[in-house]
Structure 1
Amino acid sequence: MPEGPEVKIKMNLLCAILKGTTLMNMDVCKESFHKKTHDFERLTKILPATVINSESKGKFGYITLDNGYSVGISFGMTGDILEEIPKPTDKRYKHLAVKFTYANYKSELKSIYYTSIRNFGHIWIYDTPELNIKLNTLGFCILNDNIYTKEEIVSRLRKRNNRSICECLMNQVLWAGIGNYIKSEILYTVKLNPISLVKDINDKQLYELYLAARDLAYRSYLDGGSGQYNSIFELNVYNKSICPRGFEVKRIKTPDKRTTHWVPEVQEC
């Protein structure tokens, strides 16, 4: 699943392609994806429009237009952006979900594509107040330029003292951008048992989790993202059999209802 670093990379690609161009239309290519598009009836009123920017907060991406509207994008488990339409023989072809048609600087019509293999993603049309409401529902962004203080991080987590740390890490209301691989990696880095409750973790460790998530997310982003084409980013435990310390990596179903990759010899506390 694309996490904060991967979504930022995808939205950077959209920015490089679309910024300053004119978005002409958005067409649903896959019948089963119609139910994952929201307020598309607005398109006839708001398009064409000039693309101002393409940004992300955590795992949520959005394209802003010059008329006060935005296109919100979630990538779900398998969402992606393709610069060119694949050949019909390419397995990605049948998963084309939405076609973005735009006019470039030469007024030439071009297209890019949003794909979704498992149809877990969504695309919304927002006006400015609606976009702000959406952004405000998301927690601290681990790729934000601002570093949050220990007090800010700890006070928010202490309100959920009796919850599993895995549930809290995966809660986008608390942290925007953490998914399964970042969760597993930072718990290993801070040497925390994945079945721990928040109340079992001291304030120093809670803040170390945030700093570890921020560090990991930036390194992943700069290296091209985890699991992306041409990526050089290396993980320690996620989808690994042996960790760098030489111990076997175990897998456990944690209260967030996801599989967490961990090393008991390292994460005893």
Structure 2
Amino acid sequence: MPEGPELFLASIFINSVSQNRHFGGRVVKSDVSRNPEVAWQSEVYHLQAVARGKELKVTLCDGEVQKTGEKTLDIVFRFGMSGTFKFTTVDELPKHSHLRFFTISEEIPMVLSFVDQRRFGRWEVGGTWGFDRGPDPMWEYQSFRENVITSLHSPAFNKPICEAMLNQKYFNGIGNYLRAEILFRCSIRPFDEAREVLSELKPVSKWYEAQTKQKSGNKSEMNPDILDFCHIVPKEVIHLSGGGKGYNVDPDADDNEYKEFRAWLRCYNQDGMRNMVDHNGRTMWFSGNPGRLIPKDVSSRGKVERKRMKSNSLNENVEEDERSEPEKKLSMTKQEKTRNKKENTINSHKTSKKHKVLKNESDREKSISKPERKRRNSKFKLPESAPATNSNKEEATDTTASQTARQPTTCTAPTRRSSRQKKIK
């Protein structure tokens, strides 16, 4: 899912594309999108974008340049799982483009599209920043810190710190990969209570004060706390040389485009790290002890591998697992659990079926009468003194055949004389 850095970079992308370009006509929505129509039509207009946490506001301004009193319209985007913006020619319109802004006065017609493959993204026409979302930790850091410190009495902080960090009311822009990287750098156990972790923090950060007072390029000697890292880590992402959109939401992106981002990651989806599914069903990556508020049904998920890397993993040698039983249970993937459950069910079914067959055969044996059972045994039983060789079998066959020949094949009933024949005599 795109997080704060990705939406900020999307705003930079839109502003760079819109610079020295003019748009015109109608804003077109795809037929399959459930989002509202954008009632806007102008001969000439231009675009401006700004991001705040996990929200992006695109402003349509009537005219070639912005003037006081000109008509404007705000559209607030929330990217969902796979939202992004693309700038292409009209002939190369992306398949999953759901809102389109067309350029004018260009030799090759171009289009700026909001592309959302999974269709979880939303936009609100004439909207503003969400009332249930807090300040941006990158660009409104002091307000962000104050909002968290003054709200520790809220029930939201009864949860583990890793789950509280996904609450956009207090940690706007922080998502799954950012929380893993932040907690890893702070050496904080992800499933410790959020209030316990944050209660020792001061309303004003000494690290932030020292950082702002120092000249650019000099590092502060003060150690940042967890809220400071909520400001530091997202900014590191947007300043990566390869671009900050490292959480690959673009299925058409080049594999090397996010190489810099994957090298930057220390904890999220990395080798040697553990993971656990939190109470919300999200995967939390961490190292060491998870903390005391772990879910009752402990489960984990396998590392997400790219398709081209799967063949290499199959050739690796399997080493003996020397971990303890709790660690084995924690690292067991959901697929392994499902497979083991199916195997146990099949084995138990086979066992019960076998016992049932044996029981039915025993019942049939008991239902046979004693003379019949004795006859069957004598018919197929060989003499104990003679082993079952071929010669013995032939002799037994000849004896049986001779006995059968001596027996009469037919039986004639006695003739009964009538009373009339008696009188004639």
TM-score band (shorter)? Answer: 0.7 to 0.9
Whole-Å separation in 1 of the counterparts to 2:3 and 2:285: 16
Superposed displacement of residue 87, structure 1: 8.0
Residue 98 (structure 1) aligned with residue 102 (structure 2):
no
Alignment-derived partner of residue 168 in structure 1: 164
Evaluate the alpha carbon distance shift between residue 82 and residue 152 of structure 1 in structure 2; reply closer, same or farther with a 3 A threshold: closer
Letter matched to residue 238 of structure 1: Y
Identity %: 19
Alignment-derived partner of residue 280 in structure 2: 256
Q: Secondary structure at the match of 2:88?
A: coil
Evaluate the alpha carbon distance shift between residue 262 and residue 13 of structure 1 in structure 2; reply closer, same or farther with a 3 A threshold: same
Which structure has more relative contact order (CA 8 Å, sep 6+)? It is: 1
Whole-Å separation in 1 of the counterparts to 2:159 and 2:83: 30
Specify which of 73, 85, 88 is matched with residue 84 of structure 1.
88
* 8 Å Cα contact 1:157/1:168 also seen in 2: no
Alignment-derived partner of residue 228 in structure 2: 211
Give the TM-score normalised by the residue count of structure 1.
0.79
Q: Secondary structure at the match of 2:46?
A: strand
Residue 184 (structure 1) aligned with residue 180 (structure 2):
yes
Letter matched to residue 232 of structure 1: E
Evaluate the alpha carbon distance shift between residue 3 and residue 147 of structure 1 in structure 2; reply closer, same or farther with a 3 A threshold: same
CA deviations over 1:133-172 (Å, ceiling 9, x no partner): x344320202215434754431123423323323321111
Specify which of 129, 132, 139 is matched with residue 137 of structure 1.
132
Evaluate the alpha carbon distance shift between residue 162 and residue 117 of structure 1 in structure 2; reply closer, same or farther with a 3 A threshold: same
Alignment-derived partner of residue 18 in structure 2: 18
Whole-Å separation in 1 of the counterparts to 2:198 and 2:141: 23
Which is helix-richer, 1 or 2? 2
Whole-Å separation in 1 of the counterparts to 2:167 and 2:144: 19
* 8 Å Cα contact 2:24/2:104 also seen in 1: yes
Alignment of 1:150-161 (within 5 A): 151-160=146-155, 161=157
Which is strand-richer, 1 or 2? 1
| Gap regions ≥5 residues in structure 2 | 62-70, 206-224, 249-256, 293-425
Q: Secondary structure at the match of 2:285?
A: strand
Alignment-derived partner of residue 246 in structure 1: none
Question: Which has the larger Rg?
Answer: 2
Alignment-derived partner of residue 232 in structure 1: 260
Letter matched to residue 218 of structure 1: K
Whole-Å separation in 2 of the counterparts to 1:149 and 1:78: 26
Evaluate the alpha carbon distance shift between residue 201 and residue 170 of structure 1 in structure 2; reply closer, same or farther with a 3 A threshold: same
Q: Secondary structure at the match of 1:118?
A: coil
Residue 241 (structure 1) aligned with residue 271 (structure 2):
yes
Q: Secondary structure at the match of 2:14?
A: helix
Whole-Å separation in 2 of the counterparts to 1:170 and 1:49: 40
Alignment-derived partner of residue 4 in structure 1: 4
Q: Secondary structure at the match of 1:220?
A: helix
Evaluate the alpha carbon distance shift between residue 85 and residue 255 of structure 1 in structure 2; reply closer, same or farther with a 3 A threshold: farther
| Gap regions ≥5 residues in structure 1 | 243-248
CA deviations over 1:26-71 (Å, ceiling 9, x no partner): 2223x43x21x22x15235xx4563352110011111112323112
Whole-Å separation in 2 of the counterparts to 1:149 and 1:27: 36
